[in-house]
Chains A and B, each alone.
Chain A
Amino acid sequence: MNRFAALLDRLAYESGRNAKIRLMADYFRATPDPERGYALAALTGALSFANAKPGLVRALIMERADPVLFALSYDYVGDLSETVALMWPAPPAHQRPNHSPLLSEIVEALARLPKRDLPAQLAAWLDGLDDTGRWALLKLITGSLRVGASARLAKTAVASLGDLPPDAVELVWPGLAAPYEELFAWVEGRAERPETGDPVPFRPVMLAHALEAGDMAALDPAHFSAEWKWDGIRVQVVAGRAADGARVVRLYSRTGEDISPAFPDLVEALDFSGALDGELLVRRDERVQSFNVLQQRLNRKSVTPRMLRDFPAHVRAYDLLVDEGEDLRERPFAERRTRLEAMVVRLAAAHGAASRLDLSPLVPFGTWEELAAARADPAAAGAGEDAEAVEGVMLKRCDSFYLPGRPKGPWWKWKRDPHTVDAVLMYAQRGHGKRSSYYSDYTFGVWSAGPDGDVLVPVGKAYFGFTDEELKAIDKFVRANTVNRFGPVREVLHDAEAGLVLEVAFEGLARSTRHRSGVAMRFPRIARLRWDKPPREADRLETLEALIREA
């Protein structure tokens, strides 16, 4: 456990992707089964428990520490698990465990530990661990562990043990379970590739990159096919037959979470054999409803007959991964699309208008200009009454295989134009990792009337969107125009005549009581630097408030 905790600790600080892979691979190489398998489960989120409530942790430390010293310490550190881990007193020598618990022992013990024995067992484990081990155990057992690496990165690290391509582990992952001994045996060349016994396994999904203005020039429209990007929930529907012949249908989220229980209407209605990729939407009165309507169904905890009637779920399919047991993922998109169309036609013939599955239509275009026009007005370009649920277009290379992850090049998403606002840089904060020598986190504001004239009020914070060159330029500006320092934060010159105007793009706005300006931006990023613009010409808070009212 101590060794795994040290890895978690290091991952939390490390910012580089390759460095994280290397740290994990180094751990897997040096750690035996089944310990590393449970570690892999914890890293991928496959292992989670919340056996202990914070109250239990607090009670344990109160038995061992002065309450005033605990309060002062907690106040300083600000995190319960960390405070307890750091101040946990070393047990007297004669009570010191002679063995530091392993993660695998903890996982196996928790599975059969009666609840009343938990406090004593947890205390014994804490006695046997070092400070980092205690921190990780307390985070894990209270269900508050944040892993500084994605599940995908952990699987890539496992693949790197055997010089396999990054996707290799992702492809066999469904159906495997902790402690993954057969997986490690395979990547280390000691056993055959593990086979899944699940009749309807999840296949890792393929994701698209956001299309930027500059990307388009390099792309040839003739190589691509376009379809609408729907504002719903990306799902993978897998249907098949279990060993006993029973029909099984499962809906997965794009991260592989089984969401079937929330959609019994779809599970009941979708009748095919294979795996398809599509968008979960609410379709009622012959048209797709907006995301807000879908959300009303998603927000409910239990599925009621009334909800099934008022918010009928629907799948709009756009890709076919498996057709009647045949894996199509290494076939070109154009071929998969033809197979998908044939399948949907077959189903429609069987179920008619009652079908809960239809085809996401292709958007015809010859030039990028034509596609831009369709994207600007989906209703006129074929989306018709469903246009409200369109949030842009998807571009897929006709020859693209279905690859897990987000490979750059084959798929692009081209969202409708985001909102932009011209704001003034007010504060800059040093970044982390590679960026720690740069001021790379920016707080920006817009003008608002104050009692003594216009003042800038902060409306958001952005730390990406700019190029490396732009980062250097802003960093230089910040260093040369600092008017105040607060630890890692610098206040920069910002008055009507002098300062830096940033064009900030964002996806949406909401009212917020937590922000002084009263508005909160969704997904803000720096679109352009407006060296040409004096701060007085930046936007006003009223502009943002008007946007909220429109929405």
Chain B
Amino acid sequence: MRPEDLLRPTPRGLHCPVGDFYIDPVRPVPRAVITHGHSDHARPGHEHVLATRETLDLMAIRYGAAFAGATQAIAYGESVTVGGVRITAHPAGHVLGSAQMALSWRGLTIVASGDYKETFDPTCARFEPVPCDVFISEATFGLPVFRHPPAARETAKLLNSLTVFPDRAHLVGAYSLGKAQRVIALLRAAGHDAPIFLHGALASITAYYEAQGIPLGPVRPATGAAKAELAGAVVIAPPSALTDVWSRRFPDPVAAFASGWMRVRARARQRGIELPLVISDHADWDGLLASITATGCRELWVTHGAEEALVHWAGSIGLRARPLHMVGYGEEEGEDAPAPSPAAPAASEAGEA
């Protein structure tokens, strides 16, 4: 029996022919198992969705109550059997409700981890390594240059900037699900108890986090706030809003961005960021290696990101590995990720002389 008999990559997503379901399908399917609520993994329009309660709730917030024909909740540690395949959910440590889905069938276990990080995050359950035969890993930050500093160091950078520039609004770009709430929780943990202002797009998800018992302190809508209140305040917004007309209302803003990509200067410069904050909800290089090793897997499948480097590393320690070349993942929140641009040569070269 080969692992591919239990799970195989298809253009719609990872498909389990035995139980006839898909994991994080990118197109509508009859039966979907969804690891977490980010829009590149959780899409609307499936007939049946199996996911954690939190993921189902977040999908309902984003897409409306009718986002799927039928839903079924699964708790961490709980198992559900579909067509003879036992599916068990384990925390992935990525965002609230994120789960690794372990598939067991005839003595074979494959873990589809979705997106994950192994480090502590006060806003979600911590990643647990699950012993398995095949571990399916993302590789968003799968290069050894990505080694995220402690989140507290980055929070301190932001707080220090607030003291140097008490008259400027600090606009922090953060993905609306997970990152935004984590940044707030990190600021609170560092003792920042002033009101934090939110872009409208973050309001409902942030309220949901609070309702789930994650304390975030005083948060207020940025729209309608007086200019004087915004001076020296932290304002959190989806990344696209930083370059949007929306950002012009703030007094002499400092443009910050909380993302693992901020580790590379060219990426931060490209976005016009003044205060890059390396805060990531994905495992960094060391985290990927440690998490993969901890599962004791005998085979590694890499779904998306810098697959080549991770597969090369696996080869160097004698671990069988294959890249799955999955398309459609890694672009959370429909961000306009910088694509290779035919205009770039003309635009960047012309006029330099």
Footprint of B on A, CB under 8 Å?
Answer: 6, 10, 12-16, 19, 22-23, 26, 65-66, 68-69, 72-73, 76-79, 82-83, 86-87, 130-131, 426-427, 429-437, 441, 443, 458-462, 484-489, 491, 510, 512, 514-517, 520-522, 524
How many angstroms between the C-alpha atoms of A510 and B244 in the bound complex?
Answer: 37
| Residues in B neighbouring A436, C-beta threshold 8 A | 242-243, 247, 255, 271-273
Tell me if B144 and A443 are in contact (CB < 8 A): no
| Residues in B neighbouring A443, C-beta threshold 8 A | 343, 346-347, 350-351
How many angstroms between the C-alpha atoms of A15 and B316 in the bound complex?
Answer: 44
Q: Please name 11 pairs of A and B residues whose Cβ atoms are closer than 8 Å in the assembled complex, sorted by A.
A: A13-B269, A13-B275, A68-B309, A72-B143, A72-B306, A434-B252, A436-B247, A458-B347, A486-B341, A488-B272, A520-B351
Instruction: Report the minimal beta-carbon distance from A147 to chain B, rounded to whole angstroms.
Output: 15
A66 and B316 contact, Cβ closer than 8 Å, known pairs A82-B265, A432-B269: yes
B351's partner among A15, A68, A461, A516 (CB-CB below 8 A) is A461
| Residues in B neighbouring A73, C-beta threshold 8 A | 143-145, 309
How many angstroms between the C-alpha atoms of A83 and B146 in the bound complex?
Answer: 10
Q: Which of B323-353 contact A (CB under 8 A)?
A: 336-344, 346-353
Tell me if B143 and A15 are in contact (CB < 8 A): no
Q: Quick one: closest A residue to B309, CB to CB?
A: A72
Tell me if A78 and B347 are in contact (CB < 8 A): no
Tell me if A489 and B343 are in contact (CB < 8 A): yes
Is B313 engaged at the interface, CB distance under 8 Å to the other chain?
A: yes
Tell me if A433 and B353 are in contact (CB < 8 A): no
How many angstroms between the C-alpha atoms of A156 and B257 in the bound complex?
Answer: 30
Instruction: Report the minimal beta-carbon distance from A395 to chain B, rounded to whole angstroms.
Output: 29
Is B226 engaged at the interface, CB distance under 8 Å to the other chain?
A: no
| Residues in A neighbouring B316, C-beta threshold 8 A | 66
Tell me if A521 and B351 are in contact (CB < 8 A): yes
Instruction: Report the minimal beta-carbon distance from A491 to chain B, rounded to whole angstroms.
Output: 6
Which 9 pairs across A and B sit closest by C-beta, in order of nearness? A486-B341, A436-B272, A520-B353, A487-B338, A461-B351, A460-B351, A86-B145, A458-B346, A87-B144
Tell me if A486 and B275 are in contact (CB < 8 A): no
A13 and B276 contact, Cβ closer than 8 Å, known pairs A22-B164, A437-B243, A486-B342: yes
Tell me if A488 and B270 are in contact (CB < 8 A): yes
Instruction: Report the minimal beta-carbon distance from B237 to chain A, rounded to whole angstroms.
Output: 12
| Residues in A neighbouring B339, C-beta threshold 8 A | 486-487
How many angstroms between the C-alpha atoms of A461 and B350 in the bound complex?
Answer: 5
Tell me if A432 and B336 are in contact (CB < 8 A): no
Q: Which of B120-157 contact A (CB under 8 A)?
A: 143-147, 149, 157
| Residues in B neighbouring A517, C-beta threshold 8 A | 350
B243's partner among A10, A15, A87, A430 (CB-CB below 8 A) is A430
Q: Quick one: closest B residue to A486, CB to CB?
A: B341
Q: Quick one: closest A residue to B315, CB to CB?
A: A68
How many angstroms between the C-alpha atoms of A76 and B266 in the bound complex?
Answer: 10
Tell me if B145 and A524 are in contact (CB < 8 A): no
Tell me if B149 and A130 are in contact (CB < 8 A): yes
Question: By DSSP majority rule, is chain A's interface helix, strand, loop, or mixed?
Answer: mixed
Residue picked from A460, A486, A517, most chain B C-beta under 10 Å: A486
1/0 per residue B140-184: CB within 8 Å of A?
A: 000111110100000001000000110010000000000000000
How many angstroms between the C-alpha atoms of A499 and B207 in the bound complex?
Answer: 46
| Residues in B neighbouring A462, C-beta threshold 8 A | 351
1/0 per residue B245-277: CB within 8 Å of A?
A: 101100010010000000111101111111110
Tell me if B272 and A524 are in contact (CB < 8 A): no
Instruction: Report the minimal beta-carbon distance from B245 to chain A, rounded to whole angstroms.
Output: 7
| Residues in B neighbouring A68, C-beta threshold 8 A | 309, 312
Instruction: Report the minimal beta-carbon distance from A3 to chain B, rounded to whole angstroms.
Output: 11
Is B210 engaged at the interface, CB distance under 8 Å to the other chain?
A: no
| Residues in B neighbouring A484, C-beta threshold 8 A | 343
Is B47 engaged at the interface, CB distance under 8 Å to the other chain?
A: no
Is B308 engaged at the interface, CB distance under 8 Å to the other chain?
A: yes
A427's partner among B242, B263, B271, B347 (CB-CB below 8 A) is B347
Q: Contacts A68-B312, A82-B265, A433-B272 given; 14 further ones with Cβ under 8 A?
A: A13-B269, A22-B165, A72-B309, A76-B143, A430-B243, A432-B272, A443-B343, A486-B342, A487-B336, A488-B338, A489-B343, A489-B344, A491-B343, A521-B353
Instruction: Report the minimal beta-carbon distance from A132 to chain B, rounded to whole angstroms.
Output: 9
Q: Quick one: closest A residue to B342, CB to CB?
A: A486
A77 and B266 contact, Cβ closer than 8 Å, known pairs A487-B341, A524-B351: yes
Tell me if A459 and B350 are in contact (CB < 8 A): yes
Instruction: Report the minimal beta-carbon distance from B183 to chain A, rounded to whole angstroms.
Output: 19
Tell me if A66 and B312 are in contact (CB < 8 A): yes
A486 and B306 contact, Cβ closer than 8 Å, known pairs A12-B265, A86-B263: no
Instruction: Report the minimal beta-carbon distance from B181 to chain A, rounded to whole angstroms.
Output: 25
Residue picked from B270, B274, B336, most chain A C-beta under 10 Å: B274
Q: Quick one: closest A residue to B163, CB to CB?
A: A26
Tell me if B343 and A515 are in contact (CB < 8 A): no
A13 and B343 contact, Cβ closer than 8 Å, known pairs A77-B264, A520-B352: no
Tell me if A437 and B269 are in contact (CB < 8 A): no
Tell me if A458 and B350 are in contact (CB < 8 A): yes
| Residues in B neighbouring A13, C-beta threshold 8 A | 268-269, 273-276
| Residues in A neighbouring B273, C-beta threshold 8 A | 13, 436
Tell me if A486 and B344 are in contact (CB < 8 A): yes
Instruction: Report the minimal beta-carbon distance from B261 to chain A, rounded to whole angstroms.
Output: 11
Tell me if B143 and A69 are in contact (CB < 8 A): yes
| Residues in A neighbouring B157, C-beta threshold 8 A | 6
Q: Quick one: closest B residue to A510, CB to CB?
A: B353
| Residues in B neighbouring A427, C-beta threshold 8 A | 343, 346-347
How many angstroms between the C-alpha atoms of A69 and B309 in the bound complex?
Answer: 6
Instruction: Report the minimal beta-carbon distance from B13 to chain A, rounded to whole angstroms.
Output: 27
B149's partner among A10, A131, A426, A441 (CB-CB below 8 A) is A131
How many angstroms between the C-alpha atoms of A515 and B351 in the bound complex?
Answer: 9
| Residues in B neighbouring A76, C-beta threshold 8 A | 143, 145, 264, 306
B343's partner among A26, A69, A435, A486 (CB-CB below 8 A) is A486
Q: Which of B281-329 contact A (CB under 8 A)?
A: 306, 308-309, 312-313, 316
Tell me if A461 and B269 are in contact (CB < 8 A): no
Instruction: Report the minimal beta-carbon distance from A223 to chain B, rounded to whole angstroms.
Output: 36
Instruction: Report the minimal beta-carbon distance from B269 to chain A, rounded to whole angstroms.
Output: 7
B337's partner among A487, A491, A515, A516 (CB-CB below 8 A) is A487
A430's partner among B248, B272, B308 (CB-CB below 8 A) is B272
| Residues in A neighbouring B348, C-beta threshold 8 A | 461
A461 and B352 contact, Cβ closer than 8 Å, known pairs A69-B144, A487-B337, A516-B346: yes
| Residues in B neighbouring A460, C-beta threshold 8 A | 350-351
